[in-house]
Amino acid sequence: ERTISIAIDGPAAAGKSTVAKILAEDYSYLYIDTGAMYRALTYMVLKKNEDLENEAAVKEILSDAHIELVPSESGQLVFVNGENVTEQIRSHEVTNSVSIAAKHASVREEMVKRQQDMAVNGRVVMDGRDIGTHVLPNAEVKIFLRASVTERAKRRHEENLSKGFTSDLAQLELEIERRDKLDSEREVAPLKKAEDAVEIDTTSLSIQGVVDEIKKIVQERL
């Protein structure tokens, strides 16, 4: 059997990580959540009270940040310089600031290098915004997940409520739209479907439905 890499891109809250985790588990591949790396960096920048717009400052913080993604029962733990930031990086504050840290060219260059090193032996499921276009341009399987903003906001809302967090559906919809806009319109490696990616609209599909679609594509390439 071939050693392959699976790249999953798409807008915010499209279900990428949920689906990627299941695929990684089923194939015994390594799951790499690249969004978590940008979130971990953002967390560090906010903690140091640095200006997210200041590229040199953000890049310097990244240079000093040892970011680890550790597989666990629940999917993945995230550490920065030994600190477990798994929960902190999902905060409202990080979520609404991360696209600023992620727009800087020198930051992306370093992140892409680290991500390519993690994937060097294949057998990875990597999700993000630029995986099919920049990080793993030669991935055997490239998927681009889409879903309507309304559906994505609804899913995130239900997820929040199930975790016991307060959640405002209309607010979520606005925040998701804003993040998509920033990620799609930035100059460096914007969110974009790779030409050779297979697009799946998940609006009316179940999680298992999406997983099954992707597995069909994987079987063809193995």
Considering only residues 59 to 118 of the shown chain, the ones binding ligand C5P according to CB under 6 A are 98-99, 102
Among 38, 41, 104, 143, binds ligand C5P (CB under 6 A): 38
Please tell me the count of residues contacting ligand C5P according to CB under 6 A. 14
Among 15, 75, 128, 132, binds ligand C5P (CB under 6 A): 128
Among 21, 39, 104, 152, binds ligand C5P (CB under 6 A): 39
Using the minimum distance from each CB to ligand C5P, give the nearer residue, 24 or 219: 24
Per CB under 6 A, 5 contacts ligand C5P: no
| 18 labeled binding residue | yes
Using the minimum distance from each CB to ligand C5P, give the nearer residue, 94 or 214: 94
| 13 labeled binding residue | yes
Using the minimum distance from each CB to ligand C5P, give the nearer residue, 59 or 130: 130
CB of 206 to ligand C5P, least distance (A): 21
Which residue stretches of 77-206 are H helix?
92-95, 98-101, 105-118, 149-162, 169-185
CB of 190 to ligand C5P, least distance (A): 9
Using the minimum distance from each CB to ligand C5P, give the nearer residue, 1 or 117: 117
Count CA atoms closer than 13 A to 212's CA, side-chain side: 5
Quickly tell me which residue has 């999680």 as its tokens: 207
Tokens linked to 113: 């290098």
CB of 219 to ligand C5P, least distance (A): 26
| 122 labeled binding residue | no
CB of 129 to ligand C5P, least distance (A): 4
Q: Give residues in contact with ligand C5P (CB under 6 A).
A: 12, 34-35, 38-39, 98-99, 102, 128-131, 179, 183
Binding residues for ATP: 10-18
